[in-house]
Structure 1
Amino acid sequence: MDDQEEDFNLDAVLETLGPYGRYNLLNYVLVLFPVLLSSFFTCGFIFEAQSVDYRCEVEQCESNNVTDWIQYAIPTNRETNRLESCVRYVSNSSQCQREEFTNVTVKCSRFVYENRESMVKEFDLGCQEWKRVLVGTVHNFGMFVTMLFTGAISDRFGRRVAVGMAATTSFIFGISRAFSKDYITYVVLHFVEAALGGGLYQSGYVFAVELVSSKQRVAISAACSTTFVTGVVLLSLLAWAVDNWRTYIIVLYTPALIVTIYVWFMKESARWLISKGKTADAIKTLRGAAKINNMDHTKLELRALGNPLVKSEENEDKVERSEFSKAIRSSIIWKRLLMCSYLWLTCSLVYYGFSINAVSLSSNKYLSFILVALVEIPAYVVVVVVLNKYGRKRVMMVNYFVCAVTSFLFAFLPRCDYYSIPLYLVGKWCVTLTYSSVYIYVSEVFPTSMRQTLISFCSTAGKIGSLIAPLTPLLSLYHKSMPTVLFGSLCFVASCLTVLLPETRNTRLPDTIEEAEEISRNNGKSWL
């Protein structure tokens, strides 16, 4: 079937149904609920494996109800003015007397934890910070693996099946993780849950977008992003209220069972059915939608869904091979691919880095995380306006630069809640807006014949950034400002690279390598 004709005809039918009929509103709720849950499963590890305060156990003093002995048994860090976590002073006797402690320090063998219900305490991860932050990297590596087959499952078996499988596996392995007996089991289950269920957001997003015509796709995309952020806020509130990490996991993953049950009663995406040649099933689905909306199904002009065209597979293969060989030889495409991959990697690393490091932004880590999440909502609204008004290139360049400046200011100015938190929020705002811009821009600079392949390459670079992001809190062990210095440096380089890229506003999507190269030639003179 001719893709363009198919899209046009189906869009006309969906326009007739209307985006706000009872059928669509019901499906919005059913599909956006998994999108909401995906934020729990994607970001839950931030509080699940959060850091806790601990100190060395001083055996001869622990039974002493008076705690003034701590000041001469455990050294104080001069930079943070807090007790050291991994060393204590050597004592010359088994008595808890001040004069018995020397100025010589020794590494701790046992620890006393502030939070009695934390994962760090139960698995005794004191002074093994790398094991704690490794949880996020393992989880994101699982998210990387899920990219290899989630799209294939969705395209082969349907959107409904992809959502159902992701929700089911998330529920099974998420709940199982709450009963982990040791650290290794816990990490393995984290990986398996993310690797098998990490595609829940993507599956739900595609399902939601295919419910409407092209005119409403931007609005539905913004709705999905806003729903995800809403889930992040609810996640923070839940972590604030629930102190036990095992209970926290159970509460997070139990709602996935609801999706596992009701998704099989939903109607499959009509657009997917048509793409698989199941036109009769698509017509049945659309007629059912018309009935729910109290419409006459004959007004949908369903006959426009027919008229399949036969394509020559042999000619298609020749064209694909020809375009691939041209892309390999094109220096413009190679340079663009490398720069766009760096832009995507920077957005991913800085975006998730800002979110993960937000817990150390102020004394109330939950409130800080909520503020950093909420700042994304207006960014998703603004991006639709500014991209069309000012162009992709200027928006990305300016926001990368502003993110770099605010990151450096946050790093080097003395910490003060009056300006430190606003600087951090502005940086998160800019990288969120840029992330949305990069996703759109990358799809506009590559030719149709190679677009999905090249976008996947850039997206893979972005996943590398998300793998590195959970490790950035380790940098603060050397200096508290190192994470934001890294973010600022990456964004500054990205801003400079953006100058070399062409503008794509009001340009037709390129279909061939030649047309993609022509964008650079036409833009170069105007920018110079």
Structure 2
Amino acid sequence: MSAYDDLTAFLGEWGPFQRLIFFLLSASIIPNGFTGLSAVFLTAIPEHRCRIPDTVNLSSAWRNHSIPLETKGGRQVPQKCRRYRLATIANFSALGLEPGQDVDLEQLEQESCLDGWEYSKDIFLSTIVTEWNLVCNDDWKGPLTTSFFYVGVLLGSFISGQLSDRFGRKTVLFWTMAMHTGFSFLQVFSVNFEMFTALYTLVGMGHISNYVAAFVLGTEILSKSIRIIFATLGVCIFFAFGFMVLPLFAYFIRDWRMLQLAITLPGVLCGLLWWCIPESPRWLVSQGRIKEAEVIIRRAAKINGIVAPSPIFDPNELQDVSSKKPHKHHMYDLIRTRNIRILTIMSIILWLTISVGYFGLSLDTPNLNGNIYLNGFLLAAVEVPAYVLAWLLLQHVTRRYSMAGSLFLGGSVLLLLQLVPSDLIYLSTTLVMVGKFGITSAYSMVYVYTAELYPTVVRNMGVGVSSTASRLGSILSPYFVYLGAYNRHLPYILMGSLTITTAIITLFFPESSGVSLPDTINQMQKVKRIKQWQAQSQTRMLKDGEESPTVLKSTAF
């Protein structure tokens, strides 16, 4: 069959049908933006101290000095997990002895918080931490909840691609959308930490699955020029919009159950899009369901006010394709040939490294001095100009150089951080934000670039496997941040070095700019070799009238 893009070019680039698909698919991503950052507020740890029961007969002086002090950040603060033994200080209080005068507090026996904790309500009325006392000996449970969310995202990335390639983009999109919304709603009724965490894992599976399905569906329906805008200024900015609105919700809704309910309800409205969003005609054709594809294309032509040719596809080819049973593709197809195997390995490295940098810096950004709600907003807002830059680069620069340039920017800035004096806090913060800016730009471009390199028959599977590598990066990223406890520059040195190394690898990817999407594995472009890359550079130099240097006899892959 002729190129799908050529056969459907009569629909135009930006008609009413394309605008409808663009905005509806982008809007379906907003609930994902809510979920992606919700753990910052749901699992937040307010200021807390051991509870002193009112039934204990203590003077006001002893009640005020019932918690031992410790030194943090150069100042004395109350301990969060210890208190003085109540039986002892109650006896001192009954005898009329004063703390610090008649009694040396440093010599008093201490005990754990046997009566629970008192939590500050200045910022949060309640979180899952305050409800189930996930502090002190159980403080590991809060981060574990977020880790299990990313485990769910990992599983969803791995499974959704295969399901979408097998059962269709639209079907998987709405089933996983329902999964994402439904299990988020059930979290409101969690009775313990274990139930909340198990549901959060399932939410993570739906979270990434419907995102990838929506992205691929839009990529296959929209034309080449609009595809770039959709991948950068479409789903990414709508995702960031959800990020930016979440802190506003959290500011006015300080109870975690009500907040969870508020960010879940918009997902219910997305179910109405079933009657507005069609299946991917490109996927239908690849499955031999050409008549169904023609129905969708003719409906699109009618919406655009265009008369579709008859037939859209060649009749002989229609009969030939429909008489054959569609070939089923599996994970093995991503490594079946040498070319696609190399491409898959390089894509995994690319996505893994970008994810480590993106999530590592995202986890570090809320640690900026200031209000947590403002920090949450800035965490999302910095992504908007990054997406705009990504769109401009994809419009005017080739894919490989756009990706490599963004990664070089992010990586080099992170390496410069070790040269900044420790007292220049604002400069360090600015460099971190610039690093996140560059890596976020690359993160938004990697979706469209990967989708353009893989053929239709395994595109969603290829993006899904690459996204799985990205989820591994998100799971590893907290450990990169943790290394800062030993050396505050070490996380940035590691992330910066990995990012720059990946930028160099990106230069050996095939160039997909201005090239039609491949439909079969045989139509894929070849991964560039060092020798081939040098030969192309020499050819460009010769065209400019320059002398060609000696070709180095080195090869790769």
Q: TM-score range by the shorter chain?
A: 0.7 to 0.9
**Which one of the candidate residues 40, 44, 51 is aligned to 1:46?**
40
372 and 184 in structure 1: CA distance in 2 versus 1, 3 angstrom threshold: same
Partner of 1:516: helix, strand, or coil?
coil
Distance in 2, Cα, partners of 1:283 & 1:445: 25
**Which one of the candidate residues 452, 457, 475 is aligned to 1:467?**
475
**Paired residues of 1:323 and 1:512 also in contact (CA < 8 A):** no
Shift of 1:251: 0.6
Q: Which residue of 1 aligns with 2:314?
A: 306
Q: Which residue of 1 aligns with 2:265?
A: 254
> Which residues of 2 match residues 5-20 of structure 1 at below 5 A?
5-10=3-8, 12-15=9-12, 18-20=13-15
Distance in 2, Cα, partners of 1:345 & 1:272: 27
117 and 512 in structure 1: CA distance in 2 versus 1, 3 angstrom threshold: same
**Which deviates more, 279-288 or 181-190?**
279-288
**Which one of the candidate residues 72, 97, 102 is aligned to 2:106?**
102
Q: Which residue of 2 aligns with 1:117?
A: 126
Distance in 1, Cα, partners of 2:431 & 2:62: 39
In the TM superposition, what whole-angstrom CA distance separates every residue of 1:109-140 from its partner, at most 9, and x where no partner exists? 23221134121010101123321111111011
Q: Which residue of 2 aligns with 1:363?
A: 370
Shift of 1:246: 0.5
Distance in 1, Cα, partners of 2:292 & 2:351: 39
Partner of 1:147: helix, strand, or coil?
helix
Larger radius of gyration: 2
373 and 277 in structure 1: CA distance in 2 versus 1, 3 angstrom threshold: same
497 and 323 in structure 1: CA distance in 2 versus 1, 3 angstrom threshold: closer
Partner of 1:75: helix, strand, or coil?
strand
72 and 187 in structure 1: CA distance in 2 versus 1, 3 angstrom threshold: closer
In the TM superposition, what whole-angstrom CA distance separates every residue of 1:299-348 from its partner, at most 9, and x where no partner exists? 3224232342748999x99xx99995662xx9x966x7656533321211
Q: Which residue of 1 aligns with 2:89?
A: 93
385 and 78 in structure 1: CA distance in 2 versus 1, 3 angstrom threshold: closer
Shift of 1:431: 1.1
**Which deviates more, 258-267 or 358-367?**
258-267
Distance in 2, Cα, partners of 1:212 & 1:13: 13
Q: Percent identity?
A: 23
AA aligned opposite 1:217: R
**Which deviates more, 271-280 or 121-130?**
271-280
**Paired residues of 2:334 and 2:344 also in contact (CA < 8 A):** no
393 and 451 in structure 1: CA distance in 2 versus 1, 3 angstrom threshold: same
In the TM superposition, what whole-angstrom CA distance separates every residue of 1:90-110 from its partner, at most 9, and x where no partner exists? 674225642342256856323
RMSD across aligned positions (CA): 4.1
302 and 47 in structure 1: CA distance in 2 versus 1, 3 angstrom threshold: farther
Gaps of 5+ in 2: 539-551, 553-557
442 and 521 in structure 1: CA distance in 2 versus 1, 3 angstrom threshold: farther
TM-score (normalizing by structure 1): 0.81
Shift of 1:435: 2.4
346 and 506 in structure 1: CA distance in 2 versus 1, 3 angstrom threshold: closer
In the TM superposition, what whole-angstrom CA distance separates every residue of 1:376-404 from its partner, at most 9, and x where no partner exists? 22222222444676655665555445434
Q: Which residue of 2 aligns with 1:346?
A: 353
Distance in 1, Cα, partners of 2:393 & 2:20: 31
Q: Which residue of 1 aligns with 2:135?
A: 126
Partner of 1:76: helix, strand, or coil?
strand
Distance in 1, Cα, partners of 2:170 & 2:333: 36
AA aligned opposite 1:46: V
Q: Which residue of 1 aligns with 2:243?
A: 232
Q: Which residue of 2 aligns with 1:502?
A: 508
Partner of 2:311: helix, strand, or coil?
helix
Shift of 1:36: 1.2
Shift of 1:524: 4.3
Shift of 1:174: 0.8
Q: Which residue of 2 aligns with 1:209?
A: 219
Partner of 1:496: helix, strand, or coil?
helix
Partner of 1:300: helix, strand, or coil?
coil
